[in-house]
Amino acid sequence: MESYIKLETISLKNHPEINEKYIQQKIEDDPRILGLGNLSFRQSEKIQETGGRLDILLQDDDSDIRYTVELQLGKTDETHIIRTIEYWDNERKRNQNYKYVAVIIAEDITNRFFNVISLFNGSIPIIAIQLKAIKYNNEFGLLFTKILDVITPDEEEETGKPVDRAYWEKVGTKETVKMADILLTCINEFADGFTFKYNQSYIGLFQNGIVKNFAILGPRRTALLVDIRLEKDNGIDEIIDNSDLDTMPYKWNSYRLRLKHKDLMNNKEIIVDLLKRAYESFVGK
């Protein structure tokens, strides 16, 4: 039997040695400790035109997503929430080549925070992470727990303004958009009536005029990004691991693939099977 170790949770707000700068440095040294995927550090203490400094700017190495991170020891408060949203808005306006997600980190995420965020009704992509410091003997570690995730597109909600096919041929290429067409044809072989809904952030799926985003597509210059909404499953993990598909970290309840044309030839059966599973799960809810 494994031995039991008693752990102690300590407060960092008034800790004599550990401060916000120390925690910030640990995140910058290894952004993956936040549990948000394969992130890289971009900048810290970034000066904002409206005043103040953004604590940390991170980037997802597997996509075009950047994270504006605000850290606070102790409880969230009104000024912390406002800063988090304001800095996110500043960055997304400054550089529209990336999608931006706001991240708020605190030791105590209060109910008031959730009440305020609910007023925005999912219009702001925001993640809340609770920070805990765990002590054992004379050593301690940091535990980051995501307690609020961004809302993903579903059958009742579309995000981003509508665009057209030409827009995505510029963001990606005509070839990667044609790859999306191939997947649409495959989808219509097991479920009739599907067409594309071109949004600024992704290409979604319509079935007979109703949004059914069991998968979303993102043509890029060198590949087609495909998010397939499926609960994480060991059997699916094994199928993907035994293939030569180029995968990105599982996120937003989705298996995420980076497809090139050869993948549609060599792994078409696996890809279609995943799409079919996602569709059946989606309509079964």
Of 280, 225, 273, 233, the C-alpha closest to 253 is: 233
Domains of the chain by start residue, with CATH: 8-148 (3.40.1350.10), 165-283 (3.90.1150)
> 217-227: b or e for each residue (b if 16 or more CB lie within 10 Å)?
bbbbeebbbbb
Percent with pLDDT over 90 in the chain = 47
The pLDDT mean for the chain works out to: 86
Q: Among the listed ranges 94-108, 145-159, 213-227, 270-284, which one has the minimum average pLDDT value?
A: 145-159
Answer yes or no: pTM beyond 0.85: no
- Dist. CA 238–CA 246, nearest whole Å: 14
Instruction: Give the model's pLDDT for residue 1.
Output: 66
pLDDT tens per residue, range 162-183: 789 999 999 899 999 999 999 9
282: its two tokens: 């989606």
pLDDT beyond 60 at 41: yes
Instruction: Give the model's pLDDT for residue 5.
Output: 75
pLDDT tens per residue, range 111-159: 777 777 766 646 788 888 999 888 878 778 888 998 887 755 544 444 4
pLDDT beyond 80 at 187: yes
Residue 62, SS3 per DSSP: coil
Percent with pLDDT over 70 in the chain = 93
Q: Is 253 left (phi over 0), alpha (psi -120 to 50) or beta?
A: left
Instruction: Give the model's pLDDT for residue 241.
Output: 92
pLDDT tens per residue, range 192-232: 999 999 988 889 999 988 889 999 999 998 899 999 999 88
pLDDT tens per residue, range 19-29: 889 899 999 99
152: its two tokens: 């993903």
Of 140, 117, 188, 153, the C-alpha closest to 22 is: 140
- Dist. CA 243–CA 247, nearest whole Å: 10
31: its two tokens: 């952004």
* Structure confidence at residue 161 as a pLDDT band (50, 70, 90): low
Q: Which helix (H) or strand (E) holds 268?
A: helix 268-283
